[in-house]
Amino acid sequence: MKAGAAEALSAGEHQGAERALDVERVREDFPILKQKVHGKPLVYLDNAATSQKPVTVIEAEERFYREYNSNIHRGVHQLSERATKAYEDARVKIQHFLNAGEAREIVFVRGTTEAINLVAAAYGRKNVQAGDEILITAMEHHSNIVPWQILCEEKGARLRVAPVNDRGEMIFEEFEKLLNSRTRLVSVTHVSNVLGTINPVREIVEAAHRMNVPVLVDGAQAAPHLKVDVRELDCDLYAMSSHKIFGPTGIGVLYGKARLLEAMPPYQGGGDMISSVSFEKTIYNVIPYKFEAGTPNIAATIGLGAAIDYINQLGLDNVAAYEHELLEYATEALSGIPGVRMVGTARQKASVISFVLDGIHAHDVGTVLDQEGIAVRTGHHCAQPLMERFQVPATARASLAFYNTKEEVDRLVAGIEKVKHIFG
Ligand code: C6P
């Protein structure tokens, strides 16, 4: 990380949440934010889709390719040893980021989607039979629905769905009622990408464990905003994507308790996931390598390590405090606009705001905002069943990061007023 961001923190340390993080200094670390779109300064509010990357992450990837590009775990030569060390260092950084007990509990995958598919394929193949059940919630992303449907179809198992209330909170009593002796796995999102709802993962895990059911948590939208402690949550598996936590695309993480990972069969076969191969019998490698077949995305993994360093220097507590203040400011500002309806008003929320405008399609909202230089996501956000639950075809979604400002929220409000003027 540039010296700037670290200094920015200490400068405002004693002056409350907003001052603890000097946003203008932090923004200096993100070159992409400086540009104009349609002649207007970019306001990037699509962080839940993917976050922007600090210069240190971009440079870490570049340095790998310029200075020590090499395959890992294979060569005895110096470049390979350097690449292997940087790759394994990134694993340890993630271990500490998630407070996992051991580095071997961190498996590198392509992203949250692959992490969930890995569990569905490997854990599911071994543990799910006809008549068994997988329990999810009504606020899941397609990545935490479709892999289970594929598994259930193959095995003759059943997908059960815990409903959400009108605020967008999972109804805990209904969830508990759905847990039973046939449940083989609970898989829930930590934070909803549409509603921003923070699920009570600790309580969910306790309830599931009382029935001896393991829990997989989809942490794609939680890791950028909350301090995640997998040991405190006591979840069995946790999935996240690098590109949503200011790291590169094409890399992500599956955390799993060592016991569980060891008991799971491999996901894919190939190089690196074996300890010996003969035509008669193959012995698999130890975890985590058993799940890392083939040459991984080494550069992106090293970039992810740099992203973790960056976040650590900002401090997730500072990030959370600042984002909370920004979320409250934006929620109040948007709720005050006549014709705006918020979708997702949970009591525990991360900085994701979905809304609809009376009589105006979300895509029209997004198109006009784009002309104002404001990037939001519109559509079903890969959560079609949730759209159905709230009886909307689509929403516009503003998702905030620590480099966003109140001035940018004001620009969003002005943009929405313009949409109303054009379509009203
Ligand atoms: N949501 C969004 O705009 P990948 O694509 O594998 O990095 O992450 C998938 C995923 C899984 N779970 C949740 C809760 C998510 O939000 C996402 C990605 C993005 O909301 C892109 S669809």
Answer yes or no: 152 catalytic. Answer: no
Q: Which pLDDT belongs to residue 9? A: 47
Assign 128 a pLDDT band (cuts: 50, 70, 90). very high
Ligand 1 nearest-atom number relative to CA 143: 11
Active-site residue (options: 58, 320, 382, 413): 382
Strand partners, 252: 109, 241
> Ligand 1 centroid to 221 CA: how many Å?
7
For the chain, what percent of residues have pLDDT higher than 70? 96
**Model confidence over 159-169: pLDDT tens digits?**
999 999 999 99
Q: Which pLDDT belongs to residue 11? A: 40
Fold of 3-49+315-419: Aspartate Aminotransferase, domain 1 (3.90.1150)
**Model confidence over 238-275: pLDDT tens digits?**
999 999 999 999 999 999 999 999 999 999 999 999 99
**CA 48 and chain centroid, separation:** 8
> Ligand 1 centroid to 184 CA: how many Å?
24
Which residues lie with the beta carbon below 6 Å from any ligand 1 atom?
48-49, 111-113, 141, 143-144, 189, 193, 218, 220-221, 241, 377, 381-382
Is the predicted pLDDT of residue 201 greater than 50, yes or no? yes
Average pLDDT estimate for 23-39? 98
Average pLDDT estimate for 227-234? 98
> Ligand 1 centroid to 243 CA: how many Å?
10
Q: Whose CA is nearest to atom 2 of ligand 1?
A: 49
Please say whether the beta carbons of 364 and 395 come within 8 A. no
**Model confidence over 53-108: pLDDT tens digits?**
999 999 999 999 999 999 999 889 999 999 999 999 999 999 999 999 999 999 99
Q: Beta strand 252-256 with 237-241: parallel, antiparallel or unpaired?
A: antiparallel
Q: How far apart are CA 177 and CA 163, in angstroms?
A: 11
Q: Which CB contacts under 8 angstroms, 24+ apart, belong to 237-243?
A: 237/115, 237/119, 238/98, 239/109, 239/112, 239/115, 239/116, 239/119, 240/112, 240/115, 241/111, 241/112, 241/113, 242/111, 242/300, 242/303, 242/304, 242/307, 243/50, 243/51, 243/111
Q: Which pLDDT belongs to residue 424? A: 79
> Ligand 1 centroid to 53 CA: how many Å?
17
Query: Domain-by-domain residue ranges, the chain?
Result: 3-49+315-419, 59-312
Is the predicted pLDDT of residue 329 greater than 50, yes or no? yes
Domain 59-312 in this protein, CATH class: alpha beta
Average of per-residue pLDDT values in the chain: 95
Assign 20 a pLDDT band (cuts: 50, 70, 90). confident
Ligand 1 nearest-atom number relative to CA 243: 7
Ligand 1 nearest-atom number relative to CA 241: 7
**CA 280 and chain centroid, separation:** 41
